[in-house]
Chain A
Amino acid sequence: DGGITQSPKYLFRKEGQNVTLSCEQNLNHDAMYWYRQDPGQGLRLIYYSQIVNDFQKGDIAEGYSVSREKKESFPLTVTSAQKNPTAFYLCASSLARVESTEAFFGQGTRLTVV
C-alpha cells in the first residue's frame, strides 16, 4: 500500500541532544513537508521541499534542520538549539506544481525531551 511512514512513533531524548525523525513515502510525490503540532495551536510548518536537494524554511524553522537526498525520504533533525522541542511532529507529501493537489499525512512522531 502506498503511504507515508514516520518512525519511531514515540521518541524520548535528553535535553541538549540532537534527534532525527524519519519520514519515508512511496507515493512518488515530489513535495514533502514537516509540521509541528502543539495543543491548541494547530499545525505549523517547519520545512518543506519540492524537489530533491532543495528545501525551504517554513514558519518555525529555527532549531531544526532537514535534508532531501532522495525523493522518498525527508528526515528532520531537532537540534539542541530548539528551545521547546517536545511536540507531535507530522510529515506530509503531495504532488508538486500540479493544480488541485492535496497533502497526505503520516501517523506522526511524538517527541518528548526530558
Chain B
Amino acid sequence: AQSVTQPDIHITVSEGASLELRCNYSYGATPYLFWYVQSPGQGLQLLLKYFSGDTLVQGIKGFEAEFKRSQSSFNLRKPSVHWSDAAEYFCAVGESNQGGKLIFGQGTELSVKP
C-alpha cells in the first residue's frame, strides 16, 4: 500500500540548533516528494519538492531535503532553526503530473525553545 510515515509526532529544538525531520515512504511508482509547512489554522505552504535529478534539493526559508532511494526516505533539514520555524510539517508523495493528488504523512509538530 502507498503510504508516508513521519515517525516523530512532536520535536522540540533550541533556537539556533540544527533540525532534521524524518520522512519514509512506500510508493509503487517513481515517487515525487514534497515537504509542506502549516502554521496553526492556516493552509499549507510548499517548502520544497523533488522530481528527479540532484537528490539534495533546496527550498525556501533555508530548508533542504535529501532523497535516498535505498532507504525510501526524504528527510528535511535546516542548519539553524529560528523561532518563526515553529509550525507543523508535512511530507507528501504523489504522481508527477497530478500535483495535488497527494498522500500525506501524519505531520511533525516543531516547537522552538528560546
Contact = CB atoms under 8 A, between A and B. Distances in A.
A7 to B, nearest CB: 13
A33 B43 CA distance: 13
Nearest to B44: A105
Given A99-B96, A100-B51, A102-B46, A45 B101 contact: yes
Interface residues of A, number: 35
B70 interface: no
Interface in B28-71: 32, 34, 36, 41-46, 49, 51
Given A40-B9, A41-B106, A102-B49, A33 B101 contact: yes
Interface of A: 4, 6, 31-33, 35, 40-45, 48, 50, 58, 88, 90, 92-108, 110
13 contacts: A31-B99, A42-B105, A42-B106, A44-B104, A88-B41, A92-B44, A94-B100, A96-B97, A98-B99, A102-B99, A103-B100, A103-B102, A105-B36
Interface of B: 4, 9, 32, 34, 36, 41-46, 49, 51, 90, 92, 96-102, 104-107
